[in-house]
Amino acid sequence: MISEGLESRRLNYRNLTTDDYESLLPFFKSKEATRFYYLDQPPETACKAWIERQLQRYKEDGYGLCAMIEKSTGQFAGQCGLLKQIVDETPELEIGYSLLPDFWSQGFATEAARFFRDFAFQKQMADSIISIIDINNIGSQKVAYNNGMQIDKKTQFKNMQVYIFRITFLQWKR
């Protein structure tokens, strides 16, 4: 997996495992954290399915969302990583991120998103990278702007109205 052993200034990244269930469950139990997610299952079921989906992505794609571990405390802070997506019938590489509420507004999402943006472009994984963000999710939009992205379009994605934020390799290189 490409995520093993990676780190940024304040975070270590590693693949999610089934052992992360208890650490990730508070995210799925938080109505505030999941208000922009389309969840149609109880938190416990959704959390388990989410981890299983990442394990499937690692196997099929070689990457997916990674556990974000705060270096100074060893605490599970959330997840960030690269995802293969199909948006409006077009294959895309997405940077996805979500943090436990205790880690909001501390720059962790921006740090992680920039790390995976740089990683993807350095490895020449795509000519552009997107983030798919609910039109009402101002916090995640700020992270995308901080990551050098701009709104490319508004569209429907998995029953949500979203903005597709994008940065191209040439924009990143500048």
Per-residue pLDDT tens over the stretch 77-127: 999 999 999 999 999 999 999 999 999 999 999 999 999 999 999 999 999
By C-alpha distance, which of 140, 122, 131, 115 is closest to 167? 131
Burial label, 26 (beta-carbon count in 10 A; 0-12, 13-18, 19+)? middle
Alpha helices in the chain (DSSP H): 21-29, 43-61, 108-122, 138-146, 169-173
Per-residue pLDDT tens over the stretch 2-36: 667 899 999 999 999 999 999 999 999 988 888 88
Give the pLDDT score at 2: 62
Domains and CATH numbers, the chain: 6-173 (3.40.630.30)
Give the pLDDT score at 174: 87
Cα–Cα distance, 157 to 95 (Å, whole number): 15
Phi and psi torsions of 136, nearest 5°: -100, 0
Cα dihedral across residues 145, 115, 106, 104: positive or negative: positive
Contacts (Cβ under 8 Å, ≥6 apart) of 147: 95, 110, 113, 114, 117, 131, 165, 167
pTM score: 0.93
Give the pLDDT score at 3: 62
Give the pLDDT score at 36: 86
Higher pLDDT, 156 or 35: 156
Mean pLDDT over 144-152 rounds to 97
Cα–Cα distance, 78 to 37 (Å, whole number): 15
Tokens 């495992």, located at residue: 17
Mean pLDDT over 153-167 rounds to 95
Give the pLDDT score at 165: 98
Please report, rounded to a whole number, the percentage of residues in the chain having pLDDT higher than 70: 98
CB 162 within 8 A of CB 151: no
Is the model's pLDDT at 53 over the cut of 80? yes
Give the pLDDT score at 57: 95
